[in-house]
Amino acid sequence: MSYEILFNVFAFVLGAAIGSFLNVCIYRLPLDLSINKPRRSFCPSCKSPIPWYQNIPLVSWLWLRGRCAHCGAKISFRYFGVELLTGLLFLAVWRAFPPQMAMAYWFFISLLLVGTFIDLEHFIIPDQITIGGTIAGIIASVLVPQLQYADTRLAAFVKSALAAALGYLALLFVLEAGKIAFGKKRVKLDGATPFTWKRHGDDAEFSVGPEQSLWSDHFARESDRLLLECDDAKIDNDIHNKVTLEFHYNRVTVEGRTFELDHVTEISGTARELIIPREAMGRGDLKFLACIGAFLGWRAVLFSIFAGSLAGSLVGLTTMIMNRRVWSAKLPFGPYLAFGALAWMFFGEQFVRWYLSLLNPV
């Protein structure tokens, strides 16, 4: 009993410490910052290095009441939450699986958490997590064939690679089918609504009424088009009335004339309707599911799609009921895939037995 308690405590403390490192990855990877340099964590506000005694997982955030000891700026609760969640998941994995599988799942859970929190904040999942995670999953399956319920390392390699391919291709099919069926969204505005397109560095800020977004958020493919039915429109000093602006990512066409957006500073006017292109999901989700398949196998791929879609639908429906959904809002799918993967890890076999009992009650 004492050894069991000792190992449980070790798993939780290790998870909290790893969670501290995951916070570094979550902050730095989307900004293209090295996770090694500087080695010491720093305050996101004043950039002051944080000494080790103020960087103790869980304890330091509580002791400092969620603020930087140097400048007093607020430190997001996410830092504490990730450390706590990682510790709890590491403990749950240690108690549920044999040691070799547990250590592989620890690594996998770390990938899920980093991908989830980056996707929630930035709507991207870096290739270091998706492609790197897929390669890591195949290697882990070869080293621990039990991950794929295989008897040999070769069989585990084949199963892992095929499951990764299935994950990518399954969501690719959903992506392309969704583009065909739901690739456009028509938004009728409440009367004449002011809009602006204004250059902002290599991107642009696009606003229609109170809704604001980045221009790049609306274009995932070169063929995507955004249409604005306008009462009036002004492209720099060029004025048009009762026209339709047809936007591609890098140009706009109006009354047979094409303006390259690289040479345009601002577009403004009033619109009554817009048609925006949309995707069922980002391509990072495809690679994220490939990573899930590489670690957990083909059944986890199918279950993650089902569970993730169900969870995402419930959340989306809830936001619509609460009138929180707006036309420019995005809901990342990566966190729902991660939820499905975790649910499969802990409850997948029970789910399969329950499902088979429905098919064959006798």
190's enclosing H/E stretch is strand 184-200
Backbone angles phi, psi at 194, to 5 degrees: -70, 145
Q: What pLDDT is recorded for position 279?
A: 84
* pLDDT for res 325: 53
Grouping H, G, I as helix, E, B as strand and the rest as coil, residue 214 is strand
93's CB contacts (< 8 A; 6+ apart) are 11, 102, 105, 106, 109, 345
How many CB atoms are closer than 10 A to CB 140?
24
Neighbouring CB atoms inside 10 A of 25's CB total 22
| Sequential pLDDT tens for the chain (362 residues) | 688 999 999 999 999 999 999 999 999 999 988 888 888 888 888 888 888 888 899 999 999 888 988 888 898 999 999 999 999 999 999 999 999 999 999 999 999 999 999 999 999 999 999 999 999 999 999 999 999 999 999 999 999 999 999 999 999 998 898 888 888 889 999 899 999 999 988 899 999 998 888 998 889 888 899 999 999 999 998 999 999 999 999 999 999 999 999 999 999 999 999 999 988 788 899 999 999 999 999 999 999 999 999 998 888 788 777 765 555 566 789 999 999 999 999 999 898 888 788 877 76
CA angle 324, 325, 330 (to 5 degrees): 125
Q: Which residues contact 295 (CB under 8 A, 6 or more apart)?
A: 104, 105, 108, 133, 136, 137, 140, 141, 147, 160, 341
Looking at residue 256, its pLDDT comes to: 93
Secondary structure (3-state) at 68 = coil
Going from N- to C-terminal start, the domains of the chain cover 1-95, 97-180+281-362, 184-277
Q: Is 37 left (phi over 0), alpha (psi -120 to 50) or beta?
A: beta
Sheet of 257-260, strands arranged across: 211-214, 203-208, 184-200, 266-277, 226-235, 238-248, 251-254, 257-260
The owner of tokens 């999953």 is 137
Residues 118, 125: Cα–Cα separation, whole Å: 6
The pLDDT value given to residue 362 = 64
Beta bridge partners of 200: 203
Give pLDDT, residue 326. 59
Rounded-to-integer distance, Cα 233 and Cα 240, Å: 5
Structure confidence at residue 327 (pLDDT) = 59
Q: Which residues of 289-314 are buried (b: 16+ CB within 10 A; e: fewer)?
A: bbbbbbbbbbbbbbbbbebbeebbee
Amino acid (one-letter) located at 221: R
Q: Measured between alpha carbons, how far is residue 109 from residues 71, 116, 142, 247, 353 in Å?
A: 33, 10, 18, 41, 25
Q: What is the pLDDT of residue 112?
A: 98
